[in-house]
């Protein structure tokens, strides 16, 4: 159960209502009028809670659960404990996410840190703020900025001169924004840095000459950016983050990088300048992508891999340097065979 000091809870809901919200089907229509009041894990759920099973590794916990209802795949229906109402879904984890959103709707949108709406920070007279914008204490809103309706600028955040932020967005505590245009429903968590200089120098004697970084950062709608991630502005072309992309904490995105729609970039990844990710690419944790390379649409890169060549669309690569994942696994297996102690004759 969530700590209600931090989260407001909705409900209770009948299982019929909940099934409609999460696009699931009740295994027994007679359960439609049963009510549940919260979501909970398999091992701690009680008779008034709804839980879920997605990973079969937790089948034993599912068999012992005391939950009143469970969201499961139809293939697990026969293993359900007696008395547990079943909500059947082909995607139980997605359905659970929708159920949790139903009980805790504020958990997926920004809520004030200061505890009171209004304009408390330093706002330049030329800035344009939409209806119900919140600017918390210590935040700075620069000249000629535009911020859309219902956007929250958290304590200590900075929106630099000329930047725009769309509707229903969030700039977290201590985050900074410069040379950037941000879309609607964008969540930017605390400590993020967007729009600072790209790392560009004409190297040599007598000194490394700084190359002016004259581009921008364009972040499209429904993007989420984790805490302490950094996104450099372009040197000439813009740095672009496509619609619906989700970026974890502690990611570095260099100048001129282009990221498509619906990408997933996990923590501690680094993308060098002018790298390109096409739509729906997945980079697992600590992947590095060298500059001027393209990772094709739908490709997936295993954790701790170093991408030094273009990756074709739809392929899975891994290793350092990265290569098609089947080849990488064969190489690992071969090395393991070579390292085994020889049997004594």
Query: What CATH number is given to the structural domain containing 64?
Result: 3.40.1390.10
Token couple for 323: 């290569």
The pLDDT value given to residue 252: 98
Residue 273 lies in a domain: no
Going residue by residue through the chain, which has 345 residues, state the pLDDT in tens, using 9 for 90 and above.
688 888 889 999 999 999 999 999 999 999 999 999 999 999 999 999 999 999 999 999 999 999 999 999 999 999 999 999 999 999 999 999 999 999 999 888 888 888 778 898 899 999 999 999 999 999 999 999 999 999 999 999 999 999 999 999 999 999 999 999 999 999 999 999 999 999 999 999 999 999 999 999 999 999 999 999 999 999 999 999 999 999 999 999 999 999 999 999 999 999 999 999 999 999 999 999 999 999 999 999 999 999 999 999 999 999 999 999 999 999 999 988 888 887 776
Instruction: Name residues whose C-beta falls within 8 Å of residue 37's C-beta, 6 or more positions apart in sequence.
Output: 11, 12, 48, 49
Residue 291 lies in a domain: no
Residue 24 lies in a domain: yes
Q: How far is CA 235 from CA 136, 273, 275, in A?
A: 32, 9, 13
Q: What global pTM score does this model have? A: 0.91
Whether residue 144 lies in the annotated active site: no
Residue 79 lies in a domain: yes
Residue 47 lies in a domain: yes
Catalytic residue among 124, 179, 255, 292: 255
Cα distance between residue 69 and residue 56, in whole Å: 18
Q: How many domains is the chain built from?
A: 1
Instruction: Name residues whose C-beta falls within 8 Å of residue 14's C-beta, 6 or more positions apart in sequence.
Output: 32, 33, 34, 35
With contact defined as beta carbons under 8 Å apart, do 19 and 25 qualify? yes
Token couple for 302: 């295993």
Three-state secondary-structure class, residue 128 = strand
Segments forming the whole domain that contains residue 81 = 13-108
Residue 131 lies in a domain: no
Residue 97 lies in a domain: yes
The pLDDT value given to residue 338: 87
56 CB neighbour count, 10 Å cutoff:
12
Residue 209 lies in a domain: no
């Amino acid at each position: 159960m969530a700590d209600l000091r931090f989260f407001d809870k909705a409900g209770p809901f009948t299982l019929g209502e909940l099934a409609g919200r999460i696009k699931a089907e009740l295994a027994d229509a007679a359960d439609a009028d049963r009510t549940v009041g919260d979501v909970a894990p398999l091992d701690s759920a009680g008779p008034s809670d709804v839980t879920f099973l997605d990973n079969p590794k937790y089948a034993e916990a599912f068999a012992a659960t005391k939950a009143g209802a469970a969201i499961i795949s139809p293939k697990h229906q026969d293993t359900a404990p007696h008395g547990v109402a079943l909500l059947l879904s082909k995607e139980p984890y997605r359905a659970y996410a929708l159920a949790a959103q139903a009980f805790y709707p504020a958990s997926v949108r920004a809520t004030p840190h200061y505890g009171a709406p209004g304009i408390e920070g330093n706002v330049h007279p030329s800035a344009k703020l939409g209806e119900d914008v919140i600017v918390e204490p210590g935040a700075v809103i620069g000249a000629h900025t535009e911020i859309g309706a219902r956007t929250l600028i958290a304590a200590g955040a900075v929106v630099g001169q000329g930047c725009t932020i769309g509707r229903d967005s969030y700039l977290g505590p201590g985050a900074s924004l410069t040379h950037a245009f941000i879309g609607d429903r964008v969540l930017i968590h605390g400590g993020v840095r967007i729009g600072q200089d790209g790392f560009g120098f004409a190297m040599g004697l007598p000194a490394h000459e700084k190359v002016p970084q004259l581009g921008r950062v364009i972040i499209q709608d429904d993007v989420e950016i984790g805490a302490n991630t950094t996104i450099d502005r372009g040197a000439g072309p813009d740095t672009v983050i496509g619609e619906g992309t989700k970026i974890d904490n502690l990611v570095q995105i260099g100048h001129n990088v282009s990221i498509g729609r619906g990408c997933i970039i996990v923590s501690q990844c680094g993308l060098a300048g002018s790298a390109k990710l096409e739509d729906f690419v997945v980079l697992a944790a600590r992947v590095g992508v060298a500059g001027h390379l393209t990772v094709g649409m739908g490709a997936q890169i295993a954790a701790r891999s170093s991408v030094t060549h273009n990756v074709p669309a739809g392929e899975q690569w891994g290793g350092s340097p990265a290569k098609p994942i089947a080849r990488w696994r064969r190489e690992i297996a071969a090395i393991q065979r070579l390292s085994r102690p020889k049997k004594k004759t």
